[in-house]
Structures are given as structure tokens and as C-alpha cells.
Amino acid sequence: MPKKPTPPPVQHAEIIAQPITETIIKNYMPYTMSVIVSRAIPEIDGFKPSHRKLLYTMYKMGLLNGPRTKSTNVVGQTMKLNPHGDSAIYETLVRLTRGNEALLHPFIDSKGTFGKHYSTDMDCAASRYTEVKLDKLCEEIFEGIDRDSVEFIDNYDSTQKEPVLLPTAFPNILVSPNLGVAVGMASSICSFNLAEICDGTIALMKNPGLTEDELLGIVVAPDFPSGANLIYDRASLREIYRTGSGGVRLRARWNYDKKNNCIEIVQIPYSTSLEVIMKRLTLLVKEGKLKEITDFRDEIDISGFRLTLDLRRDVDPDKLMTKLYKLTPLEDNFDCNFNLLIVGVPRQLGVIGILSEWISFRLNCLRREYTFTLNQKREKLHLLLGLSKILLDIDLAISIIRGTKAEKEVIPNLMDGFSIDEPQAEFVAEIKLRHLNREYIINRTKEIESLQKEIEELESIIGSETKLKSVIASQLRGIKTKYGQPRRTQLISPEEIVEYNEEEFVEDYNVRLILTQEGYFKKITLLSLRGNDEQKFKEGDAIRTAQDATNTAELIFFTDKAQAYKAKVSDFDAIKASALGDFIPAKLEFDEGERVMAMQCFGKNESPDKNWVFIFENGKGVRVPASAYETKTNRRRLTGAYSGTSPIIAIYYEDEPFDLLLISSQERGILINTALIPEKTTRTAVGVQLFTLKKDHKITAALRDHSSYPSAAKYRKIKLPATGVTLEEYDVEKQQVKLI
């Protein structure tokens, strides 16, 4: 058997160490800048590169004035400028359409199903079924683009040219909402009313020192395609206008149908969607926090957005809406972050800063456009001046052309015969024979005077920023007249806002509250107590506290770890006496191993002006005012509820002084009145010595109910600290049974 050849040794690639900083600079930073500059952040014309490439493709396809074409044709043609998949390009197209309703002023006139901005589940039809063309507004977007108003660059494969920016004749950057997430930065630009922005831009050109407050008098607030109501906070808006950062609060707009007892939501905040709202409503209904509603449904149709909520009888719709604004995205924030590219550099600017940059950009566009027109007219004037010289002797021109033997000598002979340059001679030589008459030449040369005036006027405009601004202002007034719309987003004053008060929605009724030794809590209606149900507890468990209260009352629970937990009675479901109830450590999320020591209920309008009595193992005790546990915020947990220097033995709520029997580990006891215990205002006060104890002795019990100790009266003390009295025999038996 032939021997197998030995394989060549494996060549391992050499690993070269590279500092992480070098890796970031060479590999990560180019990617970062590509995302920022070429994808996610809009430029001063208000477009991202994907938008600009798409619209320019449609412009070159003749879709500004021509009929609609299939969207798939546009997507295919756009790939020549945008090297992405057809689905990504089509998604870009969809957002710019009238049918999607994502823009105040759509750029694409559409036919077919394009989904809706306010719904994530409403899909658009495939591109082969929908048709599009450029909207009339795009005339203002492309104004001057064929007259060198903007710079052009090669596309990705250098087969054709595309514009770096579009010469928008109005500040589209503030009229079209734009969201984008790049690497390390994001952009979130809200939309403003077109008419207001045009007026504000004109005002800024007249007065470059315009303040934010003055601009707020013209551009009063953002205006969103979805409408809704904006809660007008002038200070917040002033900050957005100044820095480009901040937020506005939006509220859904609704109607109440009294006949059908239902609420119709007709406009929602731009920053949310129908599905998000319905998901939140479903969750609230499941949790039992929205009992006022019997049903809700999506009733969006050809007329627009509508979400209908069916109400129970006697539900106040205004009151319910304050609750929904608080608990659902029917009230939502739009966070503004005005990041945009200025000459390829990301900058965050306020409204005045953006308008100032746009004015500079538009001035440059007009200078380029007028310079292009000026050069054309100068060239034409130059040719006509040459033609006018032939008027002096047409016969000479004819004889020169007729007498020239070679065609290539016609131009030089005309140049010599009339003292004109080569372009002028070329122009004369190209005139048809029928036009070589005095009438034609005189009519053509009459344009010289008008051309000279036009050239003079163009030179005057190009050289004067004031005149250029006047042209911009004139264009803006025309755009406002043609495309201006009333505000969709209406303003409401903060004084009109009725804040949600949870307590107003809590049903009030009488209940019995029971806390067991093991930490189980029951809320039982008095109606349920009238039945024959027996109280059920875990084996070995018993009632620690039982109180009558109302469903609107508040609760406080003290634990053995020097912590207190607050809750509301309405947080717990009413149950039958035969149920075990809620396990408080789990319900209120106690720390591991933490046990309930005491509970107290306070009525809705009750002032906790009494005391809490704390008895510690080391024989000390303290009274702390209940008011020390009041909080301004809805805090659920209070740490440092009492001193943790010694283990706690008992905690009692003192509505009035009561007798307390303290028993030590040496079977000695004292009976004192809580009025003797000093009151401290600090929650963590260690207290004073109540029971004089020897070393290694401790308090084992502090009993408010001492009726089972027949000799308790013999242990009474009227001064503190006090030495314990030896328990009598039958009291010792009670104590031993208790310890067991």
C-alpha cells in the first residue's frame, strides 16, 4: 500500500498587537462619522440623504408635473443613487407620502394603501400596487436646482451626479418632523406651522437680534401632523427655542357621544401609537384599575383616526379622561433634540440658530442661481453685440462667406472682417440664410438694451444681501399664501389642566381589616361579614390586629428590621373571611426574613396626631409622634423607622395612654402607663430605660392586653426606670406557656 504524503505544516497568521485607541480611530470612527453624516442626521435643507436621493430621483423621472407611476419604478430608479435594498427605500418613500400622514406637508402625492403613522400594525401595500408622484410643494423644494443653486457630486459608482443639498425655498428643517439615531448622538426635530415659520423667518431677516420671546409671539409653538393638544409652557418653549433641547407635553383630543355614552378619541400625541395606547388600556382593565370602561375598540376608517371607549352608566367623562391622561400614553411627551448637520458638522441649535443657518444657506443658493443666470445673459449679450456689427454691412458678411473657399476659414474671415471674437463669429455663421436680412438683425439686436438692464439688475442683487433677503421674503410670502394651513395642534393653558387625583376614583365603603401574627392581611366588606363564613387562618396563626376602616384609608406596617411600609386599603382586593388573605411581606416586597410587627389604619382626612410606642429588648422604650412618619411623596418604604440598637419587642399605636405590662427573662414584671414614657421627635431615638435589668437579662414580652395575668395590678410602677417585681406563681405559669 503506497505511503500517504506528509501534509505541509500549517501556517499560522502572525498576531500583531494594536492599541485600542488606534483600533477606534482607524476602524470605529470612520463608521461613526458615516452613520452621522450619511444616514441618521438631517441637514439644513431638512432631509436625510435617503430622503434627498429619493426625491431627486423622482424629480429627474419627470414626476413633478407628469402622471403618477408605480412605486416600484421609483424604488428601482432610486437604487442608482441609494445603494440599499428595495424595502428600505420603499419605507423611506412611504413616510413622505400624503397617505401615511406623518408630515404636515407631504412631499409625495400617493394613491393606494400606505399605512398610517399613528399605527404600527397598519401595513402599507406592496410597491407594485401603489402609485406616486411629487406633490405640488416640491416645486419650492427644487426651485433653482437646474440653475446651479446647489453643488452636485458623483453618486456611489460615479455614473451620475446628485445634489449635496436641495435648494428648499422655505425652512423645511423646521416644518417636517425628523427623528434619527446615529452613533453617540440622536436627532429629534418637531414640526412647526409653515405659515408661522415663514413669518418668523421674515421677522428674523428684518431684525437679526430677534429674541426668543419675540419669536414666540410669531412661531407660537410646535405644530404636529397628528394634531392633539399642546400644554403651553412658555418657559419650556423658550428653552427649546434657545438651545434646541427640551420637551413639550401633548394630550389626545376627544369628544363625548352622549347618545351612545362613549368617548371618541380623535387625535393622539405624535410620539405614540394606537397599539401602545390599546395595550396599556388592556393592562389597566385586567388589573381592575379601569372599571369605568366596558369596552374599547379601534374605529379608524376613511374619515381618519378614532378610538372609542364605551362607558358604564353615570361615569363622568371629564373625570375619566384626567385618569386616562395620567395612566396611559393619551398624554405623552415629545422630547426635542435639535441636532443637524451644518456643512457636514453636527451641531445642536435652537430655533433662531436654525433659521439663521437656513437664511445663510438660502442666500448662498440664490447667489449661485443668480450668478448662473447672469453668466447666461452676459453670454447672450456678447453674441448679440457681435450680431449688431453685421447690421452695419450685411452684404460684406455675405460676400465674406461666399468668397471663402474652405469652410474652416469662414470663422477667421468673419472675425477679421468685423473685428469680432470666435464665439460671436460662430453665432453669426450659424444664422440661417433666410435670417440674413436687416429686419431680423434689427429685431434681435433690440434685446441688447433690455439684456443690459437685466444684467445690471442681477449684478445689483448679487452684490446686495439686503436685496437677496428681500427676494427670500417675497418667496416666503408666496409659499405661505399657497401652502399655509391652520394649526392642527391646539394650545391649552396649564391652568386649564385638571390633575389626576387617584383618591377620587377609589370606591368608598366600610371594611374590616385583619392582620395575623404570621403576616397575613384580609380586607373584608361588612356585607361579607354578615354571612356565615368563619375566619380561616394557617395552622398556629391568630389575629394580631383587627380594625374597622373605609376603602379610602391609608395603612402603615412596621417590621422587625426598623422599617415601615405604607400602603392604601384600596391596594388590596376585598376577600371573604374564609380566605387566607394577602401575605404582607410578599405584597409589599419586604426584605428577606422581615416580619410584620404592627399595623395601623388612618382615615382619608384623619390627621395622625397620636404616638407610636416602641419597646426594646434592652428594657428601653420611646414614644414617637405619628406625624414623624408623614411623607410629602408617595414613598412606600421608610428606612430608619425606629432605633435599631436593640431588638424590638413590641410596637403599639397610642391613641390615648394605656397600661403596658413588661416581662423580663428572669420572670419579673412591671406595669406602667405609656404616659410615663418620654416622647421624642426623632424617629431613631433610642429612648429611656423603663425596666432596670441586670447583665444578660432582657425583656421578653410587652403586653397591652394583660387580662390573663391576674396579679398584674401588683406590678404597677409610677416612676421610671423601675425594678421588676417577681411574678406570682400563676403569672409565671402564664409566662412559661407564652414562651413555649
Just list the catalytic residues: 129
- In the block, cell 385583619 appears at 514
Residue with cell 470605529: 28
Q: All 3 cell numbers of residue 324?
A: 386616562
For residue 635, the one-letter residue type is: R
Nearest to 292 by CA among 317, 266, 267: 317
Short-list 208, 180, 215, 66, CA closest to 131: 66
Burial class (CB in 10 A: 0-12, 13-18, 19+), 118: buried
- Alpha helix (H) ranges present in 107-226? 138-141, 194-206, 212-216
SS3 661: strand
Q: Which amino acid is at 413?
A: N
| DSSP, res 505 | G
Q: Please give the Cα distance from 147 to 488 (Å, whole number).
A: 36
SS3 for 222? strand
Beta strands in 539-633 (DSSP E): 543-550, 554-559, 563-568, 582-583, 596-602, 611-616, 620-625
Q: Which residues contact 646 (CB under 8 A, 6 or more apart)?
A: 616, 617, 618, 620, 686
Residues 149-173: b if buried by 16+ CB within 10 A, e if exposed:
bbeeeeeeeeeeebbebbbbbbbbb
| d(C-alpha 473, C-alpha 470), whole Å | 5
Q: What is the DSSP letter of 451?
A: H
Amino acid at 425: A
Give the side-chain half-sphere CA count within 13 A for 310.
Answer: 7
* Class of residue 305 by CB neighbours under 10 A (exposed 0-12, middle 13-18, buried 19+): buried
Rg (CA), the chain: 43
**Nearest alpha carbon to residue 516 among 577, 458, 459:** 577
Q: Taking phi first (over 0 means left), then psi (-120 to 50 degrees means alpha), and beta for anything else, what does residue 593 get?
A: left
